[in-house]
Amino acid sequence: MTDAAGLLSRTRELLAAHPPATTDRTDFLKARFDAGLAWVHYPAGLGGADAPRSLQAVVDAELAAAGAPGNDPRRIGIGLGMAAPTILRYGTDEQKRRFLRPLWVGEEVWCQLFSEPGAGSDLAALATRAVRADDGDWVVDGQKVWTSSAHLARWAILIARTDPALPKHLGISYFICDMTDPGVEVRPLRQITGEAEFNEVFLTGVRIPDAHRLGGVGEGWKVARTTLMNERVSIGGARLPREGGMIGPVARTWRERPELRTHDLHQRLLTLWVEAEVARLTGERLRQQLVAGEPGPEGGGMKLAFARLNQEISGLEVELLGDEGLLYSDWTLRRPELVDFTGRDAGYRYLRSKGNSIEGGTSEVLLNIVAERVLGLPVEPRNDKDVAWKDLAR
């Protein structure tokens, strides 16, 4: 295992061999990956150094001081936060070698084909079918929805039903889908913000090689749980400085615009500031737990707090600004590459935050997960657990 001194030495060797000022950005990122400095806790040869996750900060600080380019993690967040840890755990050696490097470098964008019009909160009820062809490939037909970045993606992580005669959680398999297949159709979904960062995706006769299956046939739900737990951590557990995230713009407005202040808003701001700080520090503790293993159901609690705080803080900001808070300077149909919560108007933040309690698992579902898997409360009765999917009412 590599220690901090070894990583620091390796980082300096990278900078000497590939000076950021004169090296092409993509070439530098590839060299960083090959040097094991992309995600240091990953295995050697796959962008890592078999080092503790906590030592990533040592590498990042040295590279930042040298002006080294980053891989724009917000743009490729689905690949980094969801696809990569799933491929690392369940992928074959060939899959890891093929997908992890271009994913981390940002040459290939990923999206997530999970939710469906009839299977959102109850994701295991999905109806997209994958049928095995005579040549061993899989032929997929169905519809997915709320797919971020599908209009940009080269690859997708996909779950589909491979055996409708089994109970809903057991008849699912997990695949890597080529978004350039002629059977893939992406249509934009216009949101309340006027943007179309989400999409619906129609799959018609899409052929997926069996070599692009992750995990065993029928093990898709188990594989998907790894993705979902990592997704919730990536949404709600991002590392932030004090007053990072949504609380920052409100606090700055409060300090810079004393004419807007009222006693009632002051008390609410103080309460939300403290709660945002508690959530931030809790996120630090969660990342310390991640050093010892993979994310657990605790990530659902972080995502719950993230959604609630974003909605309450953005609501306070609109009230603080009064009529000015209703302004929204770029109300147009856009196809953004990423969501920008803090670099936009207060009106945008207020509208966009409404989706936080839906994306990455609805708050209602996450409350059940926290209750059952974190607090150990009695499991909610489920009458369809042992019923074949094909016999369920839909």
Conformational region of residue 387, where left means phi above 0, alpha means psi within -120 to 50, and beta covers everything else: beta
231 has catalytic annotation: yes
Q: Which amino acid is at 200?
A: E
Q: Which position among 231, 259, 294, 298 bears the catalytic label?
A: 231
First to last CA, the chain: 52
Nearest to 188 by CA among 204, 202, 205: 202
3-class secondary structure per residue, the chain? CCCHHHHHHHHHHHHHHCCCCCCCHHHHHHHHHHCCCCCCCCCECCCECCCCHHHHHHHHHHHHHCCCCCCCCCCCHHHHHHHHHHHHHHCCHHHHHHHHHHHHHCCCCEEEECCECCECCCHHHCCCEEEECCCCCEEEEEEECCCCCCCCCCEEEEEEECCCCCECCCCEEEEEEECCCCCEEEEEECCCCCECCEEEEEEEEEEECHHHEECCCCCHHHHHHHHHHHHHHHHHCCCCCCCCCCHHHHHHHHHHCHHHCCHHHHHHHHHHHHHHHHHHHHHHHHHHHHCCCCCCCHHHHHHHHHHHHHHHHHHHHHHHHHHHHHCCCCCCCECCCCCCCCCCCHHHHHHHHHHHHCCCCCHHHHHHHHHHHHCCCCCCCCCCCCCEHHHCCC
Catalytically active residues are 231
